Amino acid sequence: MPDIKTSRNNIFSRFRRGSPKVESGKRLGLGQQILIQLFLLTISFAVIYPILWIFSLSIDSRNISRPTELTLIPPGASFQAYREVIAHPTANPVSFWQLAFNSFRLALGTSLSSVLIGVLAAYAFARFRFAGREVLMIMVLTVLMLPSIATLPALFVLLNKIVIGGFNLRNSLLGVGFAMLSGMLPFAIWNLKGYLDTIPKELEEAALIDGCNTNQAFFKIILPLAVPVLAVTAFLGFMSGWTEFAISWQFLTNPKDFTLTMALFNMIGQYAAGTPWSNFAAYSIMVALPVSVVYLFLQKYMVSGLTIGGVKG
């Protein structure tokens, strides 16, 4: 058997030697640099201001009925709202940690499933020619163009018919995951296919010449090169599952299966004065924080995965 690690290193070295060198760009003048910096500062302010406003509202112990102004450190600032939403997020008998665990299971399961299935389908579309390939690609693209909410009635009826004993697939996190996966797979397939098209076929041919079989070439050559797009696809899938609301709200009835976004919606009162805005803001930050932390770790893959994956389609 050939040494797969040595073969892979040889192939990667050939790929690096054949890659063109990127020349440094022309240096910008002082006026252009100032304009660009002012533009970036404006964008940064537009992004940071809502976050500061929400955080200020979350530490405002007055729990005002109509928040209209930004005070970075409001009078009597405290983290009482955070303690309250962790202890009793809603009137339903379910803890914050149970809600977070439900959202995590839903997000992680749909994310990994979409990547595992999507990369196999994308590789088949990118490398093989078979009967019905174009028709299948158009069908995947058609599903991708449909708004996910449009498929909700059909998914509700379909999953509601699957009942095993006392278990109803529709009224479960598993059913919500299947419904979400049907909408996430088309994006995953097209995003991954666009990236795989940019990987030269010569790398696989060189691996086959060095003694690898087709499966070894895929797992040892293609997948390591596709790490950026795998990471960005997994992250976008995780974010979709973590923030998903419409399907969960329509499918689930058992409070033990509720997610974070469902509990957040339950905080909204009939009128503005009936909404605990400090608790609502604190809960919003706690929902958004895990996704933000994951993004910081995957940021270097996000840029390359999104840009290179869009070169070919």
Please write the tens of the pLDDT for every residue from 31-85. Answer: 888 999 999 999 999 988 888 888 888 888 776 666 666 677 777 788 888 888 8
Q: Does domain 4-15+92-308 have CATH number 1.10.3720.10?
A: yes
Please write the tens of the pLDDT for every residue from 75-90. Answer: 778 888 888 888 888 7
Query: What secondary structure letter does DSSP report for 76?
Result: T
The CA distance from 256 to 98, in Å, is: 7
pTM: 0.78
Higher pLDDT, 114 or 146: 114
Q: Token pair for residue 93?
A: 């008998």
Burial of 31 (0-12, 13-18, 19+ CB in 10 A): exposed
